[in-house]
Amino acid sequence: MSRLAPPRPARSAAGPRRVLLAGSAGNFTEWYEFGVYGAFATVIADRFFTPAQAAGQGGAGPLVAAYASFAVSFFFRPVGAVLFGRIGDRAGRRPALVLVIVLMTLATTLIGLLPDRDAIGAAAPWLLTLLRVLQGLCLGGEFGGAVALMTESAPPGRRGRHGAWQSFTVALGLLAGAAVAALLAGLLGPAALHAWGWRIPFLLALPLGLAAYRLRTGLPEDPPPAPAPTRPPDPAPAPEPAPPEAVPAAAGAGPAGRAAGGTAVSGTGPGPARTTPAGAGTARAVGLGVARLMGWSAAGYTFLVVLPSYLQATLGASFRQALTATALANLGFAAAILPAGILSDRVGRRPVMLAGALGVTLLALPLLHLLQDPAAAAPAKAAAVLGAGATVGLLAGPGPAMLAEMFPARVRCTGLGLAYALTGAVFSGCAGLVITALTAATGDHDVPAYYAAGTCAISALALAGLRGDDHRRPLE
């Protein structure tokens, strides 16, 4: 088979380690802030959302309102994925990633300076939500550019390892957010923490963002991807028509969306072949990516972000106990990510991610029952929470590389970023809102387990269709 174009060079002339550091720094900063917001959700609900806004909903009303603001920002992530993804696909990965970190740092710092409802009244929750929207736009653009940069610069056979660094720094960011919140809870009294101490973690994002900005501006410019090569058809006599059952399926037209950025040929009968436009192939790949990611997204937010407020509001745990449980879950999550990514480079993405999805499906309900049992020993509860985070890590480690392998270079930033952002908008951003509201409405304390297990069961079905050799194939 003749080659249509020479192999594409690595996107950046910087070494793989420099690329990993620049890509990871922004991820850490942005997800640190999300961890802080989750840890201080109950405080933010008290400072920004008045009980009058939640009339008839009881004590859970302000917390539901706080999570509604959290969810709104997630629904702007797909917009950010398209906006910054187009910049990354057309102008290069670096300009998009630099712009994202500047805007994200600005929004996070302003949250730390924002007057609360006691100072400016009803404007406070609206301003907070506006800043969350800006963060949602930035986070939507962060994932596509960072994952594209990391996987495209990876040496052969190491895409899983390099892509896992994106998830690993997400875990570190969430863990750092929970750790800073726990430290402040130990150093400050409840009154000081609620009055002004909660602002400190948001203000710390400023030096973190400046460091990430410096690393990203230090990367060399990378040229925009070349357009897809085309070749006129070779003049040849028409072949003898084959019986319908003998006509092979078109390459890339399968459900895995391998032709996500090109033109797929379809048709299984005699007559002219039908072609599928590139946009349709990309849309199918995005939809399939959402199905494969939904379990990771929902279970991750259930165990890693929503857990503190759930333990406090539903099970009566103290603020410090809730943060300790969250820190353990994030520790297990972080510890499993890199080994899972490395393992997926050896055995494939499918077996590793299937193990994670099925693990959450089977273990979510027993885990929650253990946490609800007052007679259960504290070490057993700690081990269960740690294991829950590690199980989600099996999905998060190979996930970025799996997504990068679904899209060609010219739409990779936009395609994988949009799949991730849509998943986050529906299954992550709404996790706290859905779990808190349904638990308050039904009185069923098992709602978090049903949510995590149900989404992971669907993801397991979608992940079963992964090809076993995707990890060995070069990126398109």
Query: Which domains are present in the chain?
Result: 16-224+278-472 (1.20.1250.20)
Per-residue confidence (pLDDT) for residue 344, from 0 to 100 = 95
For the chain, give the number of residues: 476
Is residue 417 within 8 Å of 84, Cβ to Cβ?
yes
Per-residue confidence (pLDDT) for residue 52, from 0 to 100 = 44
DSSP characters for 206-258?
Answer: HHHHHHHHHHHHTSPP-PPPPPPP--PPPP-PPPPPPPGGGSPPPTT-STT-T
Per-residue confidence (pLDDT) for residue 320, from 0 to 100 = 76
Per-residue confidence (pLDDT) for residue 11, from 0 to 100 = 44
Half-sphere exposure of 4 (CA within 13 A, CB side): 10
SS3 label, residue 469: coil
In our burial notation (b when 16+ CB lie closer than 10 A, e otherwise), range 382-402 reads: eebbbbbbbbbbbbbbbbbbb
Per-residue confidence (pLDDT) for residue 460, from 0 to 100 = 96
Q: What is the dihedral of CA 132, 134, 135, 140, to 10 degrees?
A: 130
3-state helix, strand, coil in the chain (%, to 5): 70, 0, 25
Half-sphere exposure of 49 (CA within 13 A, CB side): 22
The percent of residues above 70 in pLDDT, for the chain, comes to 79
pLDDT, tens only, 287-342:
999 999 999 999 988 888 777 777 777 777 777 777 788 788 888 999 999 999 99
Q: Tell me what the mean pLDDT of segment 261-271 comes to.
A: 39
Per-residue confidence (pLDDT) for residue 335, from 0 to 100 = 94
Q: How many CB atoms lie within 10 A of CB 470?
A: 18
pLDDT, tens only, 111-136:
899 998 888 888 888 888 888 889 88
Per-residue confidence (pLDDT) for residue 239, from 0 to 100 = 52
Q: Tell whether the model's pLDDT for residue 181 goes beyond 90.
A: no
Q: Tell whether the model's pLDDT for residue 416 goes beyond 50.
A: yes
Most confident range (mean pLDDT) of 65-74, 219-228, 434-443 is 434-443
SS3 label, residue 273: coil
Is residue 154 within 8 Å of 166, Cβ to Cβ?
no
Per-residue confidence (pLDDT) for residue 90, from 0 to 100 = 87
Backbone angles phi, psi at 279, to 5 degrees: -60, -35
Per-residue confidence (pLDDT) for residue 274, from 0 to 100 = 40
SS3 label, residue 290: helix
Per-residue confidence (pLDDT) for residue 406, from 0 to 100 = 92
Q: Tell whether the model's pLDDT for residue 361 goes beyond 60.
A: yes
pLDDT, tens only, 216-253:
888 766 544 444 444 444 455 555 454 444 444 433 33
Residue with the bigger pLDDT between 74 and 125: it is 125
8: exposed, middle or buried (Cβ count in 10 Å: 0-12, 13-18, 19+): middle
Q: Tell whether the model's pLDDT for residue 267 goes beyond 70.
A: no
Q: Which one, of 324, 432, 332, lies nearest residue 384 by Cα?
A: 332
Q: Which one, of 325, 379, 360, lies nearest residue 463 by Cα?
A: 360
Per-residue confidence (pLDDT) for residue 56, from 0 to 100 = 41
Report residue 286's pLDDT band, with 50, 70 and 90 as the boundaries.
Answer: very high
Mean residue pLDDT of the chain comes to 79
Q: Tell me what the mean pLDDT of segment 6-34 comes to.
A: 68
